[in-house]
Structure formats: structure tokens, C-alpha cells
Structure 1
Amino acid sequence: MSESVAKPPAWVVEADRWFPKSNRSPFRARAFLRELLAGAKGGERYADSGELLLSELVTNAVVYGADRGTLIRVIVSLAEDGPLRIEVHDIGAGRPMPRQVGTEAESGRGLLLVKSLSSRWGCCPRVLGFGKFVWCEIPPADDQP
């Protein structure tokens, strides 16, 4: 009898980029992802949700991460036939948690979007113990819940 072991996805596209902790970084991160997906076969199936969720995660790193002057690292991986994996690294402490906000609130819904549009998401400490990274996996548009 043989055991079946799930193989990790073979990443077709992997890229990373560093962004300054600034209000322009969500825009720049979206442009980075858009360019990456434009060059990947079937990349358009991830563009809408990918750009939205990347923007939310980078915005959280800018707003809640460590002091200005630090950098935010974005790592994007795309597996053949899905998923798109996005990681946003910062040196801020704490773990992000989705929260319930009132209908009049102008912010606070970013992680609820991440939770609802991704197939999986989470937060992990960075390797050397400085900060964290928040990640999500996004199915192709035709597979989304």
C-alpha cells in the first residue's frame, strides 16, 4: 500500500519587491502585480482580486507596521492552475485580526475582504524574529467562492 503525499504547488512565477513605508506603496504594489500577471499565462484571472487584496495588505503594513523609513517586502507566487499567493512582510509587531465595524466606519474592512476573497490566509513571524508577514492565496476568478 502506498501513501499519497500532497506535493506543494510548482510555482510558475515568483517575484519579490521592496517598497518604502509610504502612502504611495499600495499603488506601486498594485502596478508591480499588474505587470507580473500580464506576463503570466492566465494571469488576468487573478488581477481584480489580487490587486485589491495586495493593496489592502500593503496598506495595513503602511498604517500598522513599524516606524516610517522601514521597508515592506512583497512576494508574489503564481502556481500553474492556481493559486496566486501574496505575502506582505513588515517589521511591525502584533498579529492582524479581522474586526467588525459599523456601517458608518471609513476603514477597518481590509482583512474582512482578504478573508472573503481568498481561499486561505494567515499571519506568520518572519524568520529572524523581526516582524511578521501576512499572506493570502487567491484562486483564479473562475474558481472563486
Structure 2
Amino acid sequence: MRKTLPLSPAPTEHACWLPRHRKSPGAARQELRCFLADHPDSENLLPTGELLLSELVTNAIQHARTARGRLIQIRFRLVCGLLRIEVHDADSRTPALRDAMDSDEAGRGLLLVHELAQSWGSCPRRGGIGKFVWCHISPEAAAA
């Protein structure tokens, strides 16, 4: 008699390393899509999650003062329906919101994170090398 194994639950955590390269925001979005594929709130979390993840990865690529060849780590976690996104880099400088001029072509990424995330912040990494920037996205806020 053939035995059917129960389906394993969707993962609640995921992490991977990406190079500091202009294509990494797209790769990070793909990782998030795969992570959320089997979660019931994915349609509410994905659009905002992709946008904020792209901003945080882009900031790590463009603004982190790190040695050549250093990687960026991205982490996702689902806790009670809340999506936590983390982007780790080897630069210990804390990111700060700034006012962008109307004519500026950049400088609004953290403002988007500040406005669209339920909460966000930055913490030093274990071991003292670098930091990670995190944000929380709730399905209710993302769907609004």
C-alpha cells in the first residue's frame, strides 16, 4: 500500500547571501517571491515587501563603505503574519532619513521604508562587523 506523506509547512525563515552588484535587488525580490509563494498573506505582503527590500538592498550596495568582495545577507521571517525583512552589510554606519530636494534623483529610499513599514530600524551585527537594517510589514498595512 502506498503511503502519502503530509505536505511540509511553508518555511517561516529564509536567508541568503548576495553580491554587492546592481542586479542584486532583483535577485532579492525573487528570493522573497519564492519565500512567500505558499503563504496565505503573500498577495498582501509581496508588493510592499518587494519595494522595501529593493530599497534596503540598493542602499547596502550604494552606500555601504565596505571592502571589495563583501557580500550582503538578506533574511526574511514570518511571525504571526508579520513579515520581517533584514538586510545585512559590513558597514557599521547607521542609516538616517534625510530630506531630498525636488531635483534630487535619489535619497528617498529610507523615506519609503519609514512610510510603508509598520516599523523599521538598524542594529549592529553580532561579532561587531557591520549592521543590519530591518523592517516589519503587516498584511493589513500592506493591503491599504
Identify the TM-score tier after normalising by the shorter chain: 0.7 to 0.9
2:22 counterpart residue number: 23
Aligned length: 132
C-alpha contact 2:92 2:124 (8 A) present in aligned 1: no
Q: Post-superposition shift, 1:103?
A: 0.9
Residue equivalent to 1:99: 98
- SS of the residue corresponding to residue 85 of structure 1 reads strand
CA distance in 2, matches of 1:49, 1:37: 12
- Indicate the residue corresponding to 1:74 in structure 2: 74
List structure 1 segments (4+ residues) > 2 angstroms apart after TM superposition.
142-145
Name the CA distance, whole Å, in 2 between partners of 1:101 and 1:42: 33
User: Could you tell me the percent identity over the aligned residues?
Assistant: 47
1:35 Cα offset (Å): 1.3
Instruction: Please identify the structure whose Cα radius of gyration is greater.
Output: 2
Q: How does 1:1-145 map to 2 (within 5 A)?
A: 13-65=12-64, 66-80=66-80, 82-140=81-139, 142-144=140-142
CA RMSD of aligned residues (A): 1.3
Q: For the residues of structure 2 that align with 1:42 and 1:139, how far apart are their CA atoms?
A: 9
Could you tell me how far apart the structure 2 residues matched to 1:30 and 1:114 are?
A: 15
| TM-score normalised by structure 2 residue count | 0.87
Partner SS, residue 85 of structure 2: strand
> 1:96-137 deviations in whole A, cap 9, x for unaligned?
001001111100000000000001100000010000000000
- What is the alpha-carbon distance in structure 2 between the residues aligned to residue 53 and residue 68 of structure 1? 25
Residue 26 of structure 1, CA deviation: 0.5
Q: Which amino acid aligns with 1:24?
A: K
Distance 1:14 1:43 in 2: 14
